[in-house]
Amino acid sequence: MRPPSARSFFLPHESQSLQRSGKMNFRFLSGLVLLLIFVTTVACSFAESFLPEMEPSYEVWAVDQSGTVSDGTGGLVYIWDGKDIFLKGAKNATPEIIDLAKAAKDANCNAPKKPHMILSNFTTPKASHVILANVGSGDTFFINIDTRAIVGCVNTVGGFNGAGGTTNAHASVASPDNNMAIVANIGAKDESGFLHKIQTNYTSDDYKLVGTLALDQFTNELGTAVARPICHEFTSDSKFAYITLAGGGLLVVDVGSADGTTPMTVVKVYDKDTVPGIGCGVSRLPFNKIMTNGESGAKGGDDFLYTFDTSKAVEGVFPNPVQIELPGEDTHGAVTCIDQKGDIFAITSMRVSNDVNFVDLQTNKVVATQSMSASFSEDPKPDVADIVGNKMFIALRGAKPLSAIGSLEFAGRTPGVAVLTINDDCNGFSWDSNDIASMEDSSRLLEEVFPGQKISAADPHGLEVILR
């Protein structure tokens, strides 16, 4: 089975797969048509030949997790219109900005701390809400895409009926059937974490915590001291979630019922020797596969990309994953693209070493590695990414990262969103100084960290492309 187009690119959520819109095909009319119409048609065709292909209508949502209030709470969400980026370039595009402290107050929600991951739901024909996990306060926000308002908030500290849960709500992910969201709660330092289930109704904006699963009971099978969930994704039938872990290994969870009457249960444990590395990004691929990362973090070591066959999960069959070793250090998320022949590739950003890897998923080989370091962005620290058309959007971390790589301080960073143009063969990219949508904020500076320098406190992390 071939993908729909040789120039299609897939978003991380399979149900939001895209096709690049082709150029319009003008046809000349017969000689009986009025000369004016004929000349206009020729002129349009001629002008069109100089225009690049237009992408589908979309917005880019990116999160600055640095606090905007004196107590460290708050944060910002930047929203760029894709047409604005297309016409003006990323550098000159003007974002809309949501002040999360104010938005939370308006919604009678707790003030967030360290807004971290932002992902969309799966309503049709387009997503209606984004889901924001706040890793410093334990809150999950549901934001209406059209109104930009927070329309629901669920705090998972303590868990359902006191089953356990900390402020470390790292990622909250919607099920493809839109009936639930699962929250990966990393847990306290040096302790195991939790999964929380939220029942969701995006029509009535009704969101309630209905279940918590403590993961400390699986450490022996994992071969790790603790079980700390990082990221996850559902299978396309919304029955299972693949959960990556901070110490290596992976859990497959039968998510149960949306109302919580059937609880979450672990049906497969992949130990840390089978799936080494810190689990980070997870995305659903075509053909019943799920792709995850295993990263070394800022400590050095090997990095991997894994693909899991989920086609027989309902039968209780869970094959070992395909393991692909990645050059560079600290893989952090992956997107996919399809070349002219219809072959699918993974593109991974390597956060610490500033590389981008291109992986042929037919042969499971890395076919190219390209550095993002440049004179205009010496140490970009590429993090969460998303893709639409031939444009790959990557969050670039700040001078003082607030999560994961906090020890890697550098005043010369360029916090914002990088826009890479991916080659047609999916094995390289181009970008320049005009391809960074800045998220620097001169009103919040790192004066204690970098004395005498005016360095922005902005620290981008979560990012999502929303089709409109």
Structure confidence by residue, pLDDT tens digits, 243-269:
999 999 999 999 999 999 999 999 999
CB 298 within 8 A of CB 335: no
The DSSP bridge partners found for residue 198 are 181, 209
Question: DSSP letter string over 324-368?
Answer: EEESSS-EEEEEEEE-TTS-EEEEEEETTTTEEEEEETTTTEEEE
* Beta bridge mates, 366: 359
C-alpha separations of 204 from 152, 167, 180, 181, 199 in Å: 10, 27, 14, 15, 12
460 neighbors 441 (Cβ within 8 angstroms): no
Q: Which long-range contacts (CB under 8 A, 24 or more apart) does 292-295 make?
A: 292/231, 292/242, 292/244, 292/250, 292/321, 293/244, 293/331, 293/332, 293/333, 293/334, 293/348, 294/244, 294/248, 294/331, 295/330, 295/331, 295/332, 295/351
Structure tokens at 87: 């016409």
pLDDT in tens, the chain (468 residues): 322 222 233 333 333 433 222 322 222 223 333 333 333 333 333 333 333 445 679 999 999 999 999 999 999 999 999 999 999 999 999 999 999 999 999 999 999 999 999 999 999 999 999 999 999 999 999 999 999 999 999 999 999 999 999 999 999 999 999 999 999 999 999 999 999 999 999 999 999 999 999 999 999 999 999 999 999 999 999 999 999 999 999 999 999 999 999 999 999 999 999 999 999 889 999 999 999 999 988 777 899 999 999 999 999 999 999 999 999 999 987 999 999 999 999 999 999 999 999 999 999 999 999 999 999 999 999 999 999 999 999 999 999 999 999 999 999 999 999 999 999 999 999 999 999 999 999 999 999 999 999 999 999 999 999 999
- HSE of 65, CA atoms in CB hemisphere, 13 A: 30
* Structure confidence at residue 54 (pLDDT): 52
The answer, yes or no, to whether the previous bond of 286 is cis (omega within 30 of 0) is no
| Number of residues that this document lists for the chain | 468
Among candidate residues 177, 332, 316, the one with its CA nearest the CA of residue 244:
332
Contact status, residue 305 vs residue 327, Cβ threshold 8 Å: no
Residue 96's nearest CA partner among 153, 135, 147, 55 is 147
450 touches 45 (CB < 8 A)? no
Cβ–Cβ < 8 Å for 182, 197: yes
Nearest alpha carbon to residue 403 among 322, 321, 330: 330
* CA angle 417–420–426, rounded 5-degree value: 140
Q: DSSP state, 429?
A: E
**Contact status, residue 303 vs residue 274, Cβ threshold 8 Å:** no
